[in-house]
Amino acid sequence: MPQHANNPGPRFDRASAIFKKHGGFLRTAQALRAGIHPETLYAMRDSGALEVVSRGVYRLADSSPLGNPDLVTVATRVPRGVICLISALAFHELTTQIPHDVHVALQRGAEEPRLDHPPIKTYRFTGEAFTEGVEIHELDGVGVRIYSPEKTLADCFKFRNKVGLDTAVEAIRFYRERRSINADDLMRYAAICRVKKVIRPYIEAIL
């Protein structure tokens, strides 16, 4: 019997179980690879069993409210990106700024992502400046790649012309006040980002 002729109840139940196994979130391609029939996926969407988080990203409608919807959506749509700069500062509580866009680091040469929501701002990183200092934080059941506080501070000094030197200096101050200081990591990432001379006086001032 054709798939679409089946009672939707069991199909929905099976598909819901697959979604739950993946934290309640799936992109279209992931859902199809996991064995969810396209007609089932779209029928669940049309019936309200699934909500569209962003284009091509679905979530079980009865899931708990998202605590970090923008970061989770970007992590799902741009899995190779890394949350960086102002967005990473905000996540680590190292800034008073409220980012209007999600700041995402991409490896140079990577395709520019197309998201209808949330708005994103991309930055191109190369080599160790892209690969080092990545932490994976589980937010709402999704692994989100975010640069560590120390790597983010180095990045902010590297991109001080874009984020503002005052933002970088404020972040150093919050870093000193709110967490144990790891000067070795700070200087290692500063070397990778080629801002050792710029950042050293600020680091020496907080030690």
Tell me, what amino acid is at 165?
L
- Edge-to-edge strands of the sheet including 57-60? 25-27, 57-60, 50-54
**Dist CA 82 CA 146 (whole Å):** 5
**Dist CA 16 CA 134 (whole Å):** 31
Q: Is 33 in the same domain as 120?
A: no
Give the C-alpha distances (Å, rounded to integers) separating 139 from 32, 72, 74. Answer: 23, 7, 12
pLDDT at 65: 64
Name the pLDDT band for 199 (thresholds 50, 70, 90): very high
Q: Is the pTM of this model over 0.75?
A: no
Q: Is 53 in the same domain as 100?
A: no
Domain of residue 131 covers 69-206
Across-strand partners of 26?
Answer: 58
Q: Is 128 in the same domain as 194?
A: yes
User: Is 124 a residue whose pLDDT tops 90?
Assistant: yes
User: Is 41 a residue whose pLDDT tops 90?
Assistant: no
pLDDT at 103: 96
pLDDT tens-digit readout, 45-95: 888 888 887 677 787 887 766 667 889 889 988 989 999 999 999 999 999
User: Which of 39, 60, 81 is at the close of a domain?
Assistant: 60
Name the pLDDT band for 5 (thresholds 50, 70, 90): very low
Across-strand partners of 139?
Answer: 142
165: tokens are 């030197």
Q: Is 124 in the same domain as 166?
A: yes
Name the pLDDT band for 1 (thresholds 50, 70, 90): very low
Q: Is 102 in the same domain as 56?
A: no
Q: Is 31 in the same domain as 75?
A: no
Element (H, E) at 46: helix 38-47
User: Which of 34, 60, 86 is at the close of a domain?
Assistant: 60
User: Which of 23, 43, 60 is at the close of a domain?
Assistant: 60
Domain count, the chain: 2
Q: Is 195 in the same domain as 153?
A: yes
| Nearest by Cα to 41 from 20, 12, 64 | 12
**Stretch 9-30: mean pLDDT, rounded?**
83
Name the pLDDT band for 179 (thresholds 50, 70, 90): low
Q: Is 112 in the same domain as 157?
A: yes
Say if residues 53 and 73 touch (Cβ distance below 8 Å): yes
Sequence length of the chain is 207
Q: Is 56 in the same domain as 96?
A: no
